[in-house]
Structure 1
Amino acid sequence: MKIKYSIALLTATLMFSSCEKFLDRPQLTSANDDNAWTTEENVRLYANKYYTDFFEGYGSGFSLGSSYLLSFSDDVVRQGNQAEFTLAVPNSGIWSYTNIRSINIMLDRVETRMSTILTPEAYNHWIGIGRFFRAMAYSDLVLAYGDVPYYDKPVSDTDFDALFKNRTPRNEVMDAVYEDLKFALENVRLSDGVQSVNRYVVAGFISRIALSEGSWQKYYYENDDQAKKFFELALEAGELVISSSKYDIVTDYRSQFTSENLSGNKDMILYREYNESINVKHALLSTHNLADNVTYGPSSDLIKSFICVDGSVWQNSSETNANNFVTSQLFKTRDSRFEAVFHEKPTARNRGSFLYITKFLPRDVEARVAAGGAAGTAFTGANNTTDAPVLRYAEVLLNWIEAKAELSTLGAAAVDQSDIDRSINKIRNRPLAAEAIQKGVKKTAPMTLGMLPSDPERDVTISPLMWEIRRERRMEMTFEFNRLADLKRWKKLDYMDTDANPDLLAGGWVDFPNQIPGEIKSGISVVKLNGQIEVFNPDNPESAAKMVGFYRYSLNRSRQQFLGLGNVNPYLSPIGRNQINEYQSRGYVLSQTEGWAQN
């Protein structure tokens, strides 16, 4: 399924961008709130405007989407100061309800003005679409803030008691989201045209939203009943997608992110189309084209997490050279996704890690730049036209197996080998790119329940099965939207503590004397496999030869402490003092986010 943005969508946005405002003299030749709600096509145009908000893809122009190349998680090391958690209440800052208000207007108008215009099937479909978008909007707010005010109807700008009401408890909000999602899952059409959201798209996103909420309830709020409710919904939604047989794992990994045309690709449940002819372009590759410099890259922690092709962790793998971290060797011994994500040779153009992220760069462009050529206009500035995955089948498979494993801890049936084969092993069996095969890349052995890896780095609070499910997710979705969100829903932000995990301050393995001797200079250091740090000393003639290990910029600073602090909650965002004061000045109370000082 593709998202195509064209003149029709622009027209719809202009027509309905402020449907609650009226002219003194109603126009007779253009749509307004009085005459717009008369045809199904008008409702479709109104709903289409939400696509760019909820399905960003690679963004538009120089405004990058929030779903890719996220640089704040344990996957990433920065040169110098590490990205920090918020440690103080801001002066100003609060949620936006623009989309929720607009969606509630849509639902109200369909309910009150179109019940006799639309067929019952069409009526339920569009109510389902509206409730789906509303559920997405509220789930985003809840993930950020916890308790938030809940509205399911349009609110008048003179109804101050409603406009300035305090937060609604999270469970009450998410119970309403649950009902919206259930309705959408049962009523949105199985097919509504190649450019439109259908029930499978809805189900795929439900598997993401419900899994997330189930995890928050289990690990953060310790509410198993609420957790089970959402895990079951995630499982149901995932099963709908899987059993449809409409989607498959048929594309090599990198091609999913570098294609100029994802039309008809069975790995895609939803994607965003970019097209030069209609001037819909993005800039994701403007600084990730191997030619431009970046200051962040993969952490040693991420690099070490990739499974070996025999299905074991590197510490006890039977693969020859499993403990050799030279990138070209990692391509041969690690899961094929490693080769698809990174450039083969270390480069100073990635100052954070010396290992360049090429997951989103077409292979021919990577080869051209590596040989000394230019990336080309299409891969610089805001000229990129590669299509963007929005929802991949692989994610739904991973959502499904994780929900099933979580439910098994809450009284449901245990995960069996057929479940693993249907999900993780299906992903591992994806085709390999010809270029990868030439480098010695191989498919990873299937996961076997009776022979799960014995990982000395496993968090002992996590079962071996869940540890491996989470590892698979980390490998599959590297540098996509999810890693920080995953750590939060698992209540595992401690993984980002650089004092406890020094691998977060180092990057790729570099043999400086043999690979890039010109970069041996003050400011570099390396970390050996035993954790020993070697700092280059220009006054010691023997120091250069020791610069072999995981690169670590010698001035990298640890992340500030963010856990266990009074009036600081890194899991949820605070709102601004100004907003709390404004409520108070009008005679109302706005509570601060859980864990933060009220004022």
Structure 2
Amino acid sequence: MKYTNTYSIILAFVVMTLFGCKKFLDRPPLTVANDETAWTTEDNVRLYANKFYPSFFTGYGLGFNTDGAAMMGYQFNDDVFLMGNQGNFTRAVPNSNIWSMSTVRSINIMLDRLETKMQNILNEEAYNHWTGIGRFFRGLEYAELSTRFGDVPYYDHVPSDIDLDDLYKPRTPRNEVMDAVYDDLKFALDNVRAADGDQFVNKYVVAGFTSRVALYEGTWQKYYYNNNERARKFLELATEAANVIVSSGRFDIVTDFRSLFASNTLAGNRDVVFYRHYDPAVSITHSVASYNNLSESLAFGPTADLIKSFICVDGKPWQNSGETAASDFSLSKIITTRDSRLEASFYDHPTAKNRAAFWYIVKFIPRSVITSVEAGNTPPNEFTSSKNETDYPVFRYAEALINWIEAKAELSTIGGAAVTQSDIDLSINKIRNRPLAAEAIAKGVQKTAPLSLADLPNDPAKDPSVPALLWEIRRERRMEFAFEHSRFEDLKRWGKLSYMDTDARKDLTAGGWVNFAAEVPSELKTGVSVVDLAGNTIVYNGSNGAAMKGFFRTTNTNGRLPFLNQTGVNPYLSPVGRNQIDQYETKGYTLTQTEGWPQN
């Protein structure tokens, strides 16, 4: 969509500037108008709402700030491991930890002012749209708070600074909070405009994030609370919301995988429902691509567990694939036998530039940059430091398809209609049929065979508690979103944090497959070890170089501390701090501890 007047062009500049800030509390006032005079026009409401974008649509972050950003902000899961010590779960109640209600308060101010100051200024359509925008943001914020803490105080109003009963209100049960989130998102889905200008939230953005939130809550209710009735409520919302996107005809799978993350403009891309734009002209840049430039050294990388999970191009797991050399994990071979997303995500030769795994992540950078650096050139200036200007696809059509098919598959296990082959063709097989980059084709990369309900893969590594169809949908999700936003949250909502247990799963502390003698002989050094397909660890002793073939693992890489079945530890929810409990008590109120943690 194009802006049609001068004011909109000015507004676009303002939005890009605001969109680059991480914390809206850190930015200067949006306008010199005070609260009594600001709520007079729709444009002023838009300016107020703009400040929430950076909080909810982080993308690649801003500058060197990569908190919550793709790749850099998501290194705590079973897809990524660190050289040295792994990140640990919280194992004891901390001195200080609690939710922040500042964003909720700010959103509620917006909703209050719309109701009390603008009903006679905005027409009904505009009033409902902006109320929907506010409720959409409030729903997202409370969904995130409940995901972290479970029960949290719920506010649908702006509490008085002197009303202690309200300020120190007890935690609202999670189910009540999420019912309110459900209502907020449903209202937004019904009332937010289908189009409101490029880079602004519209009905399809609301639908995408609603499908994400509802899928999380539906599966959380099914697997954590064992409440199928509530699971059905949210899973049905997830399918409804995703279907708004799927049935619209506006979106498609038409772009090769890497290009989705390595483009300077995603405007008009049919694979993308919403994106974050970066523009050096207004000092909005990031640094994530610099960590993919084959010049920057990394100390984290893909786990062998992730690598093994990629499906073969015949649609079968590597253990029983009919592909020639399916058990050959060397990079030069595996990119031709596995789903094309593996080749699009990794450099095609082992390199010591990744000291943790020897497989270098290149998912978030143009192929041309890697080709140039491989030829001995330095990375272009815009792919160094915090000068990156590639856009990030905040919500992709592929996610709508995967959310839709997963929700339908989950519903089918609790009394819903069975998933059909046409459902699979519309979702998973649509994604598998995405175009391949010419450079990938030249390497021998192929599209993956369609998934067939009549012939689901027989995966020897499948979790026996997961039905075969759901296992394959979850595999598809893992391949599609590796190093992005969802893996840790997926494990939580499935009740599968056990997949992060490094004592039970040795592949979590091993990286990419390396044949040291043939591929990187200069790296045969003390401390190098590999893990073969049988699970045996081989340590370099100075004379066994020919045997050093396997998944790379340094001898000083350590697993995480135990976090499951520990007394007074609940890895699925965060505890509140002792200081906050004491503060409530000094005011004459009670703050209960999060479920699963010691209450005193």
TM-score (norm 2): 0.95
Who is 1:343 aligned against? 347
Counterpart-to-counterpart distance in 1, 2:508 and 2:17: 44
Structure 2 CA distance for aligned equivalents of residues 284 and 8 of structure 1: 22
Q: Mean Cα displacement is larger for which, 62-71 or 257-266?
A: 62-71
Distance 1:378 1:187 in 2: 40
User: What does residue range 174-193 of structure 1 map to in structure 2 within 5 Å?
Assistant: 174-193=178-197
Distance, in Å, in 2 between the alignment partners of 1:231 and 1:53 is: 25
Output one character per residue of 1:461-517: Cα deviation in whole Å (capped at 9) or x when no partner.
000000000000000000001000000000000011111111111110100001111
Look up the match of 1:6: 13
Asked whether 1:575 is paired with 2:582, we answer no
One-letter code aligned to 1:7: V
- The amino acid of 1:563's aligned partner reads L
**CA shift digits 1:340-374 (9 cap, x unpaired):** 00011111111111100100011111112222211
Report how far residue 48 of structure 1 moved. Answer: 1.1
Instruction: Give SS of 2:393's match.
Output: strand
In 1, Cα distance between the equivalents of 2:131 and 2:82?
A: 45
Letter in 1 for 2:436: L
Q: Which residue is equivalent to 1:50? A: 52
Contact 1:90 1:575 in 2 (8 A): yes
State the match for 2:560 in structure 1: 559
Q: Match for residue 413 of structure 1?
A: 417
| TM alignment of 1:103-502, pairs within 5 A | 103-502=107-506
Partner Cα separation in structure 2 for residue 195 and residue 471 of structure 1:
31
Amino acid at match of 1:58: Y
* Alpha-carbon distance change, 88 to 45 in structure 1, aligned in 2, over 3 angstroms: same
Q: Does residue 512 of structure 1 match 2:543? A: no
Q: 3-state DSSP class of the match of 2:39? A: coil
1:61 has 2:63 as partner: yes
Q: Over residues 525-577 of structure 1, what are the superposed CA-to-partner deviations in whole Å (9 max), with x where a residue is unaligned?
A: 11111111111112xx3x11110111111122122110000111111111111
Report the AA paired with residue 585 of structure 1.
T
User: How far apart, in 2, do the equivalents of 1:7 and 1:201 lie?
Assistant: 21
In structure 1, what is the Cα distance between the partners aligned to 2:18 and 2:302?
42
User: CA contact under 8 A between 2:154 and 2:172: conserved in structure 1?
Assistant: yes
Tell me whether 49-58 or 187-196 shows the greater mean CA deviation: 187-196
Code of the aligned partner of 2:587 = R
Conservation of the 8 A alpha-carbon contact between 1:268 and 1:391:
yes
Instruction: Give, in angstroms, the shift of residue 9 of structure 1.
Output: 6.4
Structure 2's unaligned 5+ residue stretches are 3-8
User: Counterpart of 2:6?
Assistant: none
> Shift in Å at residue 5 of structure 1?
6.6
Secondary structure (helix, strand or coil) at the match of 2:193 reads coil
Q: Contact 2:19 / 2:54 at 8 angstroms: preserved in 1?
A: no
User: Aligned partners of 1:205 and 1:520: how far apart in 2?
Assistant: 47
1:115, 1:524 → 2: CA distance?
Answer: 68
Q: By how many angstroms is 1:420 displaced?
A: 0.2
Q: In the superposition, relative to structure 1, how do residues 11 and 509 fare at CA in structure 2: closer, same or farther (>3 Å)?
A: closer
Deviations 1:321-348 (A, max 9, x none): 1110001111100000000000111111
TM-score (structure 1 length as normaliser): 0.95
SS in 1 for 2:209: helix
State the partner residue of 1:38: 40
Task: Name the counterpart of 2:105.
Answer: 101
Q: Secondary structure at the match of 2:550?
A: strand
| 1:220-266 CA-partner distances (Å, limit 9, x unpaired) | 01111111000000000011110001010000000000101111100
Shift of 1:11: 7.9
Give the partner amino acid of 1:381: S
Deviation of 1:288 after TM superposition, in Å, equals 2.9
Query: How many residues were matched structurally?
Result: 586
CA RMSD of aligned residues (A): 1.9
Measure, in 2, the Cα distance between the counterparts of 1:491 and 1:381. Answer: 38
Contact 1:487 1:493 in 2 (8 A): yes
Partner AA of 1:562 in structure 2:
F
Q: What is the Cα deviation at residue 30 of structure 1?
A: 3.6
The Cα of 1:65 is off from its aligned counterpart by: 4.5
- Once residues 414 and 98 of structure 1 are traced to their aligned partners in structure 2, the CA distance between those partners, rounded to angstroms, is 43
- Contact 2:358–2:511 under 8 Å retained in 1: yes
Contact 2:353-2:360 within 8 A present in 1 as well: yes
Q: Distance in 2 between matches of 1:231 and 1:251?
A: 29
Following TM superposition, by how much is the alpha carbon of 1:582 offset from its aligned partner in structure 2, in angstroms?
0.7
Aligned counterpart, 2:5 = none
Instruction: State the AA in 2 paired with 1:455.
Output: D
1:527 paired residue number: 531
Determine helix, strand or coil for the equivalent of 1:390: strand
Contact 2:199-2:274 at 8 Å conserved across structures: no
Distance 1:134 1:192 in 2: 19
Distance 1:386 1:11, change over 3 A: closer
* 8 Å CA contact retained: 2:398, 2:431: yes
Q: Does the 8 Å contact 1:59/1:282 carry over to 2?
A: yes
Question: Is the 2:217–2:493 Cα contact (8 Å) retained in structure 1?
Answer: yes
Kindly provide the CA deviation profile for residues 356-407 of structure 1, in whole angstroms up to 9, marking residues without a partner as x: 0100011111112222211122111110000111000101100000000011
Which residue of 2 is the match for residue 26 of structure 1? Answer: none
- Structure 1 stretches of 4+ with a deviation exceeding 2 A read 1-14, 285-288
Kindly state the Cα deviation for residue 7 of structure 1 after the two structures are TM-superposed.
Answer: 2.9
Corresponding residue SS for 1:6? helix
